[in-house]
A and B are shown apart, each in its own frame.
Chain A
Amino acid sequence: MQVDEKRYSQVIFQKQSGELVLTETGLQFGTWQISWTQLVKHQVSPASYPKALLKLVLQGETNATFQLSNRTDLEQIRKEISIHLQQRSKKRPHSEVAIVTYGAPLDATATAVTRASLLAAHPSLRQQHAYLVQETCTLTEDEFWETHQHLLQEEHARISGLAQAGRSSFMQSRLPTSGRITLGVEEMRQIFIMYPAVHKAYEEKVPLELSDEQFWRKYLESEYFHRDRGRLGTVARNHANGEETNNNKNGKKPSGPSMEEQDARAAAVGTDDFFSRYAQKLQQEQKPLDHTKVGRRLATGQFDLASTLETERGHLLQGPKDNHPSNVHDDEKGARVIAKYNRHWAMVLHPDDAVAGADLLNVARQSPLQVLPDDEDAKWGGGVHREMQRLVGFAEATEEEANHADGRKADDAYEPLSLKNVEAYYSFKQSGNNTTTETSEEANERYKVFANTILGNVNALVQELVADETKLTELPPTCFPPPKLGRELLSALTKKMAADARTDSASLAMVEQLPSEFREKLQIYFRRCSELLRHFFALRQMKNSGEKLARIVLGMETFYRELDTMRKSFPHTDAGNMMQKMCLPLMDQLDWAFKLHREGSGVGGGGGFVTVEEIY
């Protein structure tokens, strides 16, 4: 994309005139070399400034300012340096600009604010917090939050606007019009992309005319910023064609902007609004979209409206007219909003190409060239033939050929084995066997024997492998049972599981029968129980946590008793029995924790989470 060497003559640096050369490795002025790795960032003088200056900020806080002969050279060198810097930053795993480093400690105020906002946002968390910290004092405030560190960090990032770049399609650039505004790097980036006028103004005014902070202050105070946030009730005005519509007919007050917002707007009216001027300037510079240059294939298949409307005499094909007059009263506000959102999707879908001042329409135009799977389907009825073939194939297929999950005839005999279809998979092969002669008990006996044999074989094999690693490659052929036995065993297992399993709808129906009060309670108990257990297991791992652990265990015991009381209070009806049963798993979990605690108490931590041996 770029030439190996770019030369700029008549460049003045420290009163010496010379030639500035851009190479693959860096910049060169006379004998002075600057490699790309040394360069941190570059700035240029604003367009209104008479001299064309290029400032390079190098590592170690040193600067170098070059004066170029004219503006076009300056623009070009700026772009080229940007490209080099971009390439370099792409090589790094992440752009370092806007990523929050997790785990960095927050200061006291930030912590308090973040915690409060988290609690406000999550009702379940609030409930837990109230129960564990405030009511029962099982945990201290810090202990509670220790386990939610990740949430805290995320919330803090959200509040301070330091969201990770390109992570979400959420529009960061929409700032509130009143109250406290925090501008993060991501907001600024998005504002630049979404509002090219602001970017142009920034390029020309900062840092010579305005400082960074002054600039943003001006932006937030400007009418441009507020105008874009809309006024309520304009729909009414537009459609009444200037007549006052009667908003009060239902006795409602006309809804309008809040007082604060109105004040902010009133203040904005008088201020110098250079953004609007830039927007006008940009609009004048921008020629209307040149249709002759856009090329032929703009979209895939049926989505290519232009392929018809731009080639045939379009007015007959555009769809019936609605004859509605166009909106002339709202000074193109709707059009601006539409343009904004159409820039937004381009930015989200093409995050790499979306940079400040980029022509997003051009960026979007690249997309049809990037081929996605199933593009043929996107044609007008492109997949109809295939779809019909598929359906007919599925309808024609015999039981073993049919792929019920995808609704098609299986292309070949192979179908991935799963527990669900294992019956269909083997039944036709077994149908001729003499398995029917033996009774189910006999069969069960047989399976047991098989299972034991297999277990024995595998155990021996594992022992052997562990003992002698060199033997790893050669597995004795006898170590696994013959495939037929395995298959039988599997099908037996599946049968048993199928018999035991309930369908989702059955369990749903069962749950529906229970009183809603109980369901709510159970949910709360479940959360409490999980929270307590989490703390319990976490603390067990830590040393010097005896006191806390004891508190937790105490908390668990209280909870256990509470649960037990509730369980016993159920009537001895069907529903009651069911409810009793449903409490059991929670109690079992707690029991298990108590058992561990008893065994390991005094030791101050027994190996953490459940290990496999302990289960059996």
Chain B
Amino acid sequence: MRFNLDGLEVFFPYDRIYLEQHQYMRCLKQSLDAGGHCLLEMPTGTGKTVCLLSLITSYQYANPSAGKLIYCTRTVPEMNHVMEELATVLDYRARMLHPEEPSEVEITRPSGDMEDIGGTATERSSKRARKVYRRKESGKAPMGPSSSRAGAGGSGVLALCLSSRRNMCIHERVMAESDREAVDSACRSMTASWVIEASQKKPGSMETCAYYDNFQAAGESTSMPSGVYDLDELQKWGKSRGWCPYYLTRQAINHANILVFNYQYMLDPKVAKLVSKELGAESIVVFDEAHNIDSVCIEALSVTINDRGLEQATRSLGRLSSEVSRLKASDSQRLQQEYQNLVNGLIDQGLIQAPANDAALASNVLDPDVLNEAVPGNIRRAEHFVQFMRKVVEHLKTRLRSVAGPTGGVRSETPLAFLHRMTNGTSLETKPLKFAYSRLSSLLRTLQVSNLDDYNALTDIADFVSLLATYSEGVAKFAIIMEPNSSAIPGVTDPVIQLACLDSSLAIAPLFKRFGSVIITSGTLSPIDLYPKLLQFEPCISESLSMSTFRPCIRPLVITRGSDQLAVSTRYEDRGDMGVVRNYGAMLVELCSTIPDGVVAFFTSYSYMESLISEWDAIGILRELTKSKLVFIETKDVVETTLALDNYRRACDCGRGAVFLSVARGKVSEGINFDRHYGRAVIIFGVPFQYTLSHVLRARLEYLQTHYQIREQDFLNFDALRQASQCVGRVIRSKTDYGLMILADSRYTRHDKRSKLPKWILQFMDDSCINLSTDMAIAHVKSFLRLMGQPVDQEALQSVLLTVEEVIRMNPARPTISAGEGGAMIMDGQNSAAIASSSA
């Protein structure tokens, strides 16, 4: 449908649209017009991504001066999904703008077009083959270079995505390495500038990457034709030209209209400089699934140092010093050159503007003087710097030992105090410490180190001291926490020093400052007024949309008691109680024997899950569970969990279903949709609070209280409830999908908890299902499943899926607003009032 939204022509690739999608687009448009940031919450399963893409691309089309769209996702599968939706949106626009040209859906895909690009792996070819078949069947929009004259989207759009080398490389030997570090260092060993130089001087002396060489040889002429490129397409295109897709994409970023990549390319200062430094200020930045963005920001600036890391750093320093002396003997000119550069300051030295292929380890939160000033004299010489770092490492070791020692224990210090002790203990000055990070990266470059990951521990320490020295003054936005953690082996401690960032706005502030529009959106951002406080920005629009449905497809149930009427809770005092353990177990067994297909259960923490599971195993509950469902359990290992998940999917596809036991703050709770039969119910045992005795958390809570006036309990509740709603929100994908959300803890009945759930969940929560015992809940479950098993009613569906005419009528140019024929369950105050007034 093509419609006019407050003066902007929007190309929306479907004939009908949901009311909340329209509202969402209007909010987006208003914030783009105002050139401000915005916060938008819209339920999962209502087509958020397609709205974002179709509105922003339409906006770009209408305003050629608007900058790039930078779309940040969390995972690689999400990125692929965005690219697919983007292809749909742009294909529709191209067809609307140039109706005379045949749609690309039919004309592309000649046989052999999707030939195997992996070459070696047979698994790849089997996957490919299937894809071809499916694409034909479902008529998906085309990827890759656009074949039409006007280019993709009818106006020559270039849309790219970027990932790590491991996902993009096409060099056979490098691809055989399968972990990220190995791929990175294998690539660097063939593409670093000194390697290229050496091989140019003496061809054949060094192995270089043919794809990279071709790409460099092509130089400025390497341009990409208009089109939508996902990872597969980029690899294919690179292969067809003989160009390295990774570097090609890195270069093409500058003239792409749409960029899709991972959060870290924007937020992690170590990577951000590589990628996002040249993005224009007028760009539109979108963070999708951004409910945890404050945690990501904090993680990005926090550093943890332990014994192992320090040992490794010592070894790295040893290696560095031998490298330095070797170089001194063989090529002292190079060191001299570096010295000269350091005298001139970092920018002049070219570190900040380093060629894209050398890993530039610059930080975007560095002090401005660090960027402009000359490096202090006492660390300019390489051997002096190595000595300097040795002192730092030794000092940290002493501190760590004292923490673990008999008089040790948990200690918390401000950065200033820590720094003070460090300068006293090592007789180092503060100023050179600020430069440690940049000086190290310069040295690594001079020494032509390609396997940078071997120096990770040392880099972390340099990062640690640089941050420490930079942020020691003024308000303490960091805390140093030293803990003698007990390790898995009893009696042994594994002490750590943590530099914990307390202020989440620190990492994201440069983005808010630099870009005109930053859009933060997710399915769960409630309570929405807390995010501006946490991230320190002023959104011009902040809106939480509810869900229009034709049937109550979500049933939240709050179970507060077991069948024996004893209250269940994971409260600290209660969780060990056998009654609670047994009641939770019986609840799971009964639910699993009632609910068909997949069931997902979340626990508050990994350690709680472990102990509960071993109890359940002991009293035979798990055994009982295997009678009705196959049991899958998340582990700490990513690969194992992935395998468990994939097999869970298979079990749901072909049997009585399965139950997946998982952790509310784990890997699974974030990235995966348990929609349709993959999850008919999500159960969450307990309220997923953080560990309130954690010292890092305490420091942060204190900081929030004193600086942002956010009360401790408020933040804890908010944090737990956003996690809980994230977990239960996994259950639904579209409006014909349905699912149960079971919150099993007596504390969920309390208003302070319940009110923090998103509006679209609350709208389905009535008083009859907020204080249930297990047996009452089972009755609810049965009636709900029976109701939802019925086919969809066409008339009801029509009432929520608006036609073009209805959309046109909603345009405020003519203020009569209609929300369809009625039957739409809109709970939004404004709209229902509007509907009432229009019908009256």
Contact = CB atoms under 8 A, between A and B. Distances in A.
B618 A303 contact: no
B49 A381 contact: yes
Main secondary structure of the interface of B (DSSP, over half): helix
Which of A231, A308, A377: most chain B CB closer than 10 A? A308
A239 interface: yes
Interface string B622-638: 11001100111101011
A603 to B, nearest CB: 49
Given A303-B649, A407-B791, A385 B667 contact: no
B16 A324 contact: no
B75 A300 contact: no
B100 interface: no
A301 B672 CA distance: 10
A607 interface: no
Q: Classify chain B's interface size.
A: 35 or more
Contacts, number: 369
A305 B74 CA distance: 11
Given A300-B649, A312-B164, A349-B651, A327 B691 contact: no
Contact of B578 (A247, A295, A402): A247
A338 interface: yes
Interface in A188-242: 229-240
A371 B130 contact: yes
Contacts of A372: 650, 653-654
Which of A232, A235, A240: most chain B CB closer than 10 A? A235
A232 B615 contact: yes
B485 A292 contact: no
B397 interface: no
A238 B623 contact: no
Interface in A320-372: 320-328, 330, 332-342, 344-346, 348-349, 361, 364-365, 367-369, 371-372
Nearest to B627: A170
A296 interface: yes
B264 A313 contact: yes
A367 B607 CA distance: 29
B647 A346 contact: yes
Given A299-B643, A338-B635, A385-B140, A317 B75 contact: yes
B165 to A, nearest CB: 9
Nearest to A294: B639
A57 B460 CA distance: 64
A328 B614 contact: no
Interface in B662-681: 663-673, 676, 678
A171 B604 contact: no
A255 interface: yes
A156 to B, nearest CB: 20
A311 B76 contact: yes
Interface in A531-578: none
B736 to A, nearest CB: 6
A394 B794 contact: yes
Interface string B556-587: 00000000000000001001111101000000
A380 B641 CA distance: 17
Contacts of A298: 639, 642-643, 646
Q: Classify chain A's interface size.
A: 35 or more
Contacts of B163: 311-312
A405 B575 CA distance: 46
A285 interface: no
A407 B798 CA distance: 12
A375 B130 contact: yes
Contact of A235 (B14, B178, B486, B611): B611
Contacts of B608: 239, 324
A328 B492 CA distance: 11
A298 B643 CA distance: 7
A238 B576 CA distance: 8
B178 A296 contact: yes
A388 B14 contact: yes
Given A301-B77, A316-B267, A239 B299 contact: no
B81 interface: yes
Given A387-B733, A407-B792, A394 B611 contact: no
A392 interface: yes
B292 interface: yes
Interface in A384-416: 384-389, 391-392, 394-397, 402, 404-407
11 contacts: A234-B615, A238-B607, A239-B608, A303-B672, A316-B300, A317-B670, A335-B610, A341-B631, A345-B644, A377-B676, A380-B78
Closest 4 pairs between A and B when the two form their complex, measured CB to CB: A230-B618, A334-B610, A236-B576, A299-B646
Interface of A: 169-171, 174, 229-240, 245, 247, 252, 254-255, 289, 291-328, 330, 332-342, 344-346, 348-349, 361, 364-365, 367-369, 371-372, 374-389, 391-392, 394-397, 402, 404-407
